[in-house]
Structure 1
Amino acid sequence: MNDDLLGRHRAVLPDWLALYYDRPLEITHGEGRHVWDAQGNRYLDFFGGILTTMTAHALPEVTKAVTEQAGRIIHSSTLYLNRPMVDLADRIAQLSGIPDARVFFTTSGTEANDTALLLATTYRRSNTVLAMRNSYHGRSFSSVGITGNRGWSPTSLSPLQTLYVHGGVRGRGPFAELDDYDYVAACVDDLKDLLGHTRPPAALIAEPIQGVGGFTSPPDGLYAAFREVLHERGVLWISDEVQTGWGRTGEHFWGWQAHARSGPPDMLTFAKGIGNGMSIGGVVARAEIMNCLDANSISTFGGTQITMAAGLANLNYLLEHDLQGNARRVGGLLIERLRAAAAHVPAVREVRGRGLMIGIELTKPGTDEADPAAASAVLEAARAGGLLIGKGGGHDTSALRVAPPLSLNVAEAEEGAAILEDALRSIQ
C-alpha cells in the first residue's frame, strides 16, 4: 500500500517536494509525543511536523475547540468581524512585548515573512533588505530572495536587493575563533561597514536561532548590538520567530528576548507551533508600521475561525501548563544527555541549542567537512529504533534537528536520547 501511495505521490506532485527516508513514511495518527505509521509502527516524535505540533498530538483541548468551532462556522474571511481572531490577536499583542502592537494573521510563516517585508519596504520606501547568512525565511518569491541558504534558494531573481550580514553561525565563518565579546564587536563593525556602502535598507530580518540552518545562533546580545546601529539609521528589525517563538527555547518566550538590551523588535513574525498543526501565521508590528499601507488589503484564509479557535486553546494550554518551563527543564536534560553520547562519536562536531530546539552537527571525522550522508544514515537508524528527527544545516544538510513537542516528559527524553545515541554509534 505504501509503495502504491509513493508511486501516486511521484506521479502527481513536484519532483522537488522532498520526502524523508529511503522508504518514505505515511503517518496516520498521533497521540501525545507519539505517532503511528500505516503499518502500525509506533514512533517517538522528536520533530513535530517541522516544529508545528508544539504541545502534543491530538491534544484534547485543541481537538475540542476545533470540533466545537467547526459545528458553528469554519470561515468567513476578514471582511466580517471575527471574535476568535480578535481574542487571539489580543493575547498575542500582549505577549509580544511590542508597544501599541497590531496583529495580522496569515496562513504560514512564509506568508508572515512576506507580509513583514511588504510592510518594511513600504514604511521605509526602500527595497533593500539585510538578512543573515545561512538563514531561511520561506518559499515565496520574496522570502526565497532573502534566504541565505543556497540549498533552499532555487533562484537568484528577486524583487528585493538583499545584503547578507555575518553573525548567525557562531561556530563557522571568519570570526569563529574569536571569543563572544570580540565576535559581536567584529559582526557589528562588519554591519557598519556594509551600511556605509549602500543606500539605507528597509530592515534587517533575522531568526534568533536559525531553524533550517541547523539550529545555529549567535552569542546573546548580537541583535541588540545590531539594533542600536540600525536604530540610528531608522532601519527596522524584524525578528523571525516562526520556529523560536512560544517558549520553545525554554529561557525565553520569544527568541529576541536573548537580545533584549535595546528593547523589542519593530516587528516579529510567527507561525508553526501556535496552531499545533493548524495553519496559522502572522505579523506583530507597531501600529505606525502596520498601518502604513495606503491600499486595500485583506486575508481570505488568515485568521479564519477554526484555526483561531485552535490557536487560542493551544496558547491557553501552553501558558497554563508552563510548557516554556518544561522546555527549559526537560530540554536541558536532553541536551546534556546528547552531549554525553556525542562525546564518543567522532563524527559529531557540535551539539547545540536551547530548550527543546537542539542541533547535532555531523562532519567527516577529524575535519570540518560537512557529512550529509552521515546525517541521512542517522535519520534512517533513528527511525529504525522508533524515533523521528529532522535534518538541516547549510547547503550540505549535515545537522540533525531535534524539536519534540513542548510537553515532552523526562522518561520520553531519556528514551529518545538512548535511541539517538545508538543511531549515532551506528555510523562509526
Structure 2
Amino acid sequence: MSDDLLKRTRAVLPSWLAIYYDEPIEIERGEGRHVWTADGTRYLDFFGGILTTMTAHALPEVTKAVAEQAGKIIHSSTLYLNRPMVELAELIAGVSEIPDPKVFLTTSGTEANDAALLLASSLRRSNQVLALRNSYHGRSFSTIAITGNRSWSPTSLSPFQTYYVHGGQRYRSPFAGLSDGEFIAACVADLREVLDQSGGDVAAFIAEPIQGVGGFTHGPDGLLGAFAEVLRERGILMIADEVQTGWGRTGEHFWGWQHHGFVPDIVTFAKGVGNGLSMGGVIARAEIMDSLGANSISTFGGSPLTAAGALANLRYLLEHDLQANAARQGPVLFEGLRKVGSPIVGDVRGKGLMIGVELVRPGSTDARSADAARGGGPGEPAPEIAAAVLEATKRRGLLVGKGGLHGNVLRIAPPLTLTADEAAEGLAALVAALEECTP
C-alpha cells in the first residue's frame, strides 16, 4: 500500500517535494507524543510535523473545540465579526510582551513573514532588508528573497534588495573561536559595515532567534539585542521570526527574542500555535500594524475553525505551563547527546526542546573554515551520515528531522508535553542510532 501511495504521490505532486526515508511512511493517526503508520507501526515523534504539533497529537481540548466549531460554522472571512478570532488575538496580544499590540492572523509562517515585510517596507518606503546568513523565512517569492540558505532559494530574482550579515550560526562562522562578547562585537561591526555599504535606507532586519531550517543554529544570547541598538539609531524596524521558537519551546523564555534583551517592533508566528491547524500571524505595535494605506482582508486567516482550535491549544499550553516542561526535559536530551563523544558529532546546540546535532565526517576539517589552516575548525559536513542516522532512528521507532545548509543536522523537537520516560526513550534511540552509524 505504501509503495502504491508513493508512486501516486510522485505522479501527481511536484518532484521537488522532499519525502523522508528510503521507504517512506504514511502517518495515519497520532496520540500524545506518538504516531502510527498505516501498517500499525508506532513511532515516538521527536519532530512534530516540523515543530507544528506543539502540545500533543489529538489533544482532546483541541479536537473538541474544532468539532464544536465545525458544527456551527467553518468559514466566514474577516469581512464579518468572528468571536474565536478576536478571542485568540486578545490572548496572543496578552502574552506577546509587545507594547500596544495588534494581531493579524494568517494561514502560515510564510504568509506571516510576507505581511511583516509588507508592513515594514510600506512604512519605511524602502525595499531594502537585512537578514542573517543561513536563514529561512518561507517559500513565497518575497520570503525566498530574504532567505540566506541557498538550498531553499530556487531563484535569484527578488522584490527586495537583501543584505546578509553574520550571527545566525556559530559552528561554521569565521568568528567561531571567539568568546560570546567578542563574537557579538564582531557581528555588530559586520552589521555596521553592511549598513554603511547599503546607504542606510533599510526597511527592516528580520531574524530567527534560533534558525530552524538552518539546523537549529544561533548566536550567543544578547546578539540580537546588540543588533537592535544599532538599528534603533537608524530607525530600522526589527522583525523577530518566531515561527519555530515561540510559545515557550526554548524553555527559558516564552519567546526566542527574550534571550537577547530587546523588544522587537514586529513578531511573526505560526506552526505550533495551531497544533497542526493552518495558523500563523503577525504581532506589531498599533502604530505599525495600522500604517497600511490601503484596504485589505484575509479570506482564510483566522477562520472560526482554526482560531477555535488554536485558542484551545494556547490555553492548554499556558494552563499546563509547558514552557517549564521544556526547561525540564530539554537538558536531559542535551546532556545525553553531549556525552555521546562520537567522532561523527560535530556540534550539539539549541535551547529547551529545540536541539540540533551537526554530523561530520570523522577526522575531517572543513577546508573552508577560518581555522582550517591551523588544523582546527568544524568537521566536514556529512549529509550521508545524517541520512543514515535518520533511517537508524526510524528502525528504533523514533522520528526526528533533518536540516542545515548541507543537510547534515538532526533536528530534534518533540511536543512540549514530552514526559521524562519518553525523553529517556528517545535519547536511548538517538544514542544507539549515532553509535550504529559511527564508522
Give me the TM-score of the superposition, normalised by structure 1: 0.98
After TM superposition, the structure 1 = structure 2 runs for residues 131-280 of structure 1, keeping only pairs within 5 Å, are 131-199=131-199, 200-260=201-261, 263-280=262-279
SS in 1 for 2:198: coil
Deviation at 1:288, TM superposition (A): 1.2
Deviation at 1:94, TM superposition (A): 1.4
Corresponding position: 1:424 with 2:434: yes
SS in 2 for 1:28: strand
Deviation at 1:289, TM superposition (A): 1.0
Corresponding position: 1:382 with 2:393: yes
- CA deviation map 1:370-422 (0-9, x unaligned): 0000000000000010000000111x110000000000000000000001111
Query: How much identity, in percent, do the aligned residues show?
Result: 69
Hey, what does 1:126 align to over in structure 2? 126
Deviation at 1:333, TM superposition (A): 1.1
Residue 42 of structure 1 aligns to which amino acid in structure 2? R
The list of structure 1 runs, each at least 4 consecutive aligned residues, that deviate by more than 6 angstroms after superposition, is none
Hey, what does 2:298 align to over in structure 1? 299
Following the alignment from structure 2 to structure 1, what is the Cα–Cα distance between the partners of residues 10 and 112? 29
Following the alignment from structure 1 to structure 2, what is the Cα–Cα distance between the partners of residues 171 and 21? 27
Residue 226 of structure 1 aligns to which amino acid in structure 2? F
Hey, what does 2:78 align to over in structure 1? 78
SS in 2 for 1:197: helix
Residue 361 of structure 2 aligns to which amino acid in structure 1? K
Q: CA RMSD in A?
A: 0.7
SS in 1 for 2:339: helix
Deviation at 1:304, TM superposition (A): 0.1
Residue 269 of structure 2 aligns to which amino acid in structure 1? F
Residue 23 of structure 2 aligns to which amino acid in structure 1? R
Corresponding position: 1:45 with 2:56: no
Deviation at 1:69, TM superposition (A): 0.5
Following the alignment from structure 1 to structure 2, what is the Cα–Cα distance between the partners of residues 293 and 316? 31
Following the alignment from structure 2 to structure 1, what is the Cα–Cα distance between the partners of residues 330 and 68? 34
Following the alignment from structure 1 to structure 2, what is the Cα–Cα distance between the partners of residues 173 and 257? 23
Following the alignment from structure 2 to structure 1, what is the Cα–Cα distance between the partners of residues 17 and 225? 37
SS in 1 for 2:129: strand
1:357 corresponds to which of 354, 357, 373:
354
Residue 356 of structure 1 aligns to which amino acid in structure 2? L
Residue 353 of structure 2 aligns to which amino acid in structure 1? L
Deviation at 1:353, TM superposition (A): 1.1
Following the alignment from structure 1 to structure 2, what is the Cα–Cα distance between the partners of residues 65 and 97? 27
Residue 394 of structure 2 aligns to which amino acid in structure 1? R
After TM superposition, the structure 1 = structure 2 runs for residues 64-75 of structure 1, keeping only pairs within 5 Å, are 64-75=64-75
Deviation at 1:335, TM superposition (A): 1.2
Deviation at 1:292, TM superposition (A): 1.2
Residue 249 of structure 1 aligns to which amino acid in structure 2? T
- CA deviation map 1:339-389 (0-9, x unaligned): 112x1x110001111110000000111222100000000000000100000
Give me the TM-score of the superposition, normalised by structure 2: 0.96
Hey, what does 2:367 align to over in structure 1? none
- CA deviation map 1:214-233 (0-9, x unaligned): 10111000010000000010
Following the alignment from structure 2 to structure 1, what is the Cα–Cα distance between the partners of residues 10 and 215? 28
Following the alignment from structure 1 to structure 2, what is the Cα–Cα distance between the partners of residues 197 and 17? 37
SS in 1 for 2:164: strand
Equivalenced residue count is: 423
Residue 370 of structure 1 aligns to which amino acid in structure 2? P
SS in 1 for 2:28: strand
- CA deviation map 1:95-154 (0-9, x unaligned): 111111110000000000011001100010000000000000000000000000001111
Hey, what does 1:17 align to over in structure 2? 17
Following the alignment from structure 1 to structure 2, what is the Cα–Cα distance between the partners of residues 10 and 281? 29
Residue 415 of structure 2 aligns to which amino acid in structure 1? P
Following the alignment from structure 2 to structure 1, what is the Cα–Cα distance between the partners of residues 182 and 219? 12
Deviation at 1:282, TM superposition (A): 0.3
Hey, what does 2:419 align to over in structure 1? 409
Following the alignment from structure 1 to structure 2, what is the Cα–Cα distance between the partners of residues 290 and 98? 12
Following the alignment from structure 1 to structure 2, what is the Cα–Cα distance between the partners of residues 302 and 88? 12
- CA deviation map 1:19-60 (0-9, x unaligned): 000111100000000000011000000000000000000000
Following the alignment from structure 1 to structure 2, what is the Cα–Cα distance between the partners of residues 83 and 283? 18
Corresponding position: 1:287 with 2:286: yes
SS in 2 for 1:308: helix
Deviation at 1:171, TM superposition (A): 1.7
Deviation at 1:300, TM superposition (A): 0.2
- Ranges in structure 1 where 5+ consecutive residues have no aligned partner: none
Following the alignment from structure 1 to structure 2, what is the Cα–Cα distance between the partners of residues 207 and 380? 29
Deviation at 1:183, TM superposition (A): 0.5
Following the alignment from structure 1 to structure 2, what is the Cα–Cα distance between the partners of residues 61 and 406? 15
SS in 1 for 2:197: coil
Deviation at 1:330, TM superposition (A): 0.7
Residue 148 of structure 2 aligns to which amino acid in structure 1? G
- CA deviation map 1:302-333 (0-9, x unaligned): 00001000111001100111100000001111
Corresponding position: 1:330 with 2:341: no
Following the alignment from structure 1 to structure 2, what is the Cα–Cα distance between the partners of residues 161 and 408? 42
